[in-house]
Amino acid sequence: MSIAPDPTHDPRLRSWVASANVPGCDFPIQNLPFGVFRRAGGGESFRCGIAIGDCVLDLGALDMLGPFEGLGAEALAACAEPSLNRLMALGRQSWAALRRGVSACLREGAPRAAELGTALIRRSEAEFTLPARIGNYTDFYASIHHATAVGRLFRPDQPLLPNYKWVPIAYHGRASSIVVSGQEVRRPRGQILPRGAERPQLAPSARLDFELEVGVLIGTGNSLGCPVPIAEAEKHVFGLCLLNDWSARDLQAWEYQPLGPFLAKSFATTISPWVVTLEALAPYRLPWSRPPEDPQPLPYLDGAQLRAGGAIDLHLEVALETQAMRAARAAPQPLARTNFRHSYWSVAQMVAHHTVNGCNLETGDLLGSGTQSGPEPEEAGSLLELTQGGQRAIRLASGEARTFVEDGDRVILRGWCERPGCARIGFGEASGTVLASI
């Protein structure tokens, strides 16, 4: 919230990487998101990179050219590793110095453009892995629209439980099954209680769903026993990514009481390969507010900085590509669009609440926002909402219908920020294709 737009956000900036100047490009010079990559099929080691246009800037190769001094040089040296963790642990001043340096290197007219061009690799020639070593994963429930819609399906008389408007609800997820975009997801098996039955059975999930979420990657951690004040919370956040918290709704319905999700969630979580930094998102901040008729947050979850710019104007979309669409070479069909600005709880509030009991967040920890749904039915971020719990099938342009995700379906999440007077920046995509259960 303390990050202000600077010359790296100037919408007039252009890059000597021509593809970065194409209108609608996700990765113009104003973005500069981080990821971890290598050349596909060559057996090389993974290393850190920055997306620019249709290319990846190899930060290890850039470091060998010695373009920076001071904090920027230190931050660049931390990128010659197979994860972003070392860079993320350096803190906001180092991240900002590296952003300024890379921006200067990639601008039109940069004096060493020809030499720096040797550090570029086409994204189409690269493969990606998780951007960070993720030690812990916490999934929040930050959309009141999603919480209310789902609650209405199961508790029509009390859709929203009393604590929701007071507490940023979350559960501890499984970090070992987080995968990067493009990987396949095996349909999970688990206990299911069929309608009208008295005994559960072990079976593949028949109600596999996606969840359109935003991921929050922690940069610098906090010491055990030392809460992070809300005014300091975003200093600990490196950046955001897209996140699909795959969910087996039939497993979830049987197992979630009294302790919450388990096998219904732990089989896979897909994230995008690119992490868009909070520095890049500075022009897209919005005031955060709570409806006046709702209880206002407790003091540790409130503050002037939060109110001034705690929300983020991030457009989100989920699309579906079936096997039949792929065979016909048809484009994936968008199912819903929403915006992260509708989130009831902000990024800073998630961090502040997570640590208020003294819990220590660590570099590389991942927070999920929970399904992001907007106030309108077409802004729902899950099939559970879009199909009213499977009661109303979605008709696709291909002639097919869906109530839940079927084998062979590819789910694609996309995100982008755009507003007048600012350059459009994107998050790329987080996609996964479902395989049949074993």
Q: Which residues are catalytic?
A: 146
Element (H, E) at 203: strand 201-204
Peptide bond into 204 cis (omega under 30): no
Angle of helix 70-77 relative to helix 92-106, nearest 10 degrees, comes to: 90
d(CA 194, CA 211): 23
Residues whose CB is less than 8 angstroms from the CB of residue 261 and which lie 6 or more positions away in sequence, other chains included: 171, 173, 247, 252, 255
Q: For residue 122, which of 271, 17, 242, 30 has the smallest C-alpha distance?
A: 17
CA distances in angstroms from 361 to 161, 221, 284, listed in the order given: 27, 5, 26
d(CA 425, CA 423): 6
Return the DSSP state at 45.
P
Beta strand 34-39 with 47-52: parallel, antiparallel or unpaired?
antiparallel
Q: What length is written for the chain?
A: 438
CB-based contact 86:74 (threshold 8 Å) = no
* Beta-bridge partner residues of 82: none
Q: For residue 58, which of 31, 74, 39, 41 has the smallest C-alpha distance?
A: 39
d(CA 269, CA 144): 22
- Report which residue type is found at 118: T
**Residue in this structure with the two tokens 């983020």, named with its chain if needed:** 312
* Beta-bridge partner residues of 212: 244
Q: Please report the sign of the dihedral spanned by the C-alpha atoms of residue 296, residue 302, residue 307, residue 309.
A: negative
- Report which residue type is found at 17: V
d(CA 417, CA 436): 35
CB-based contact 271:368 (threshold 8 Å) = no
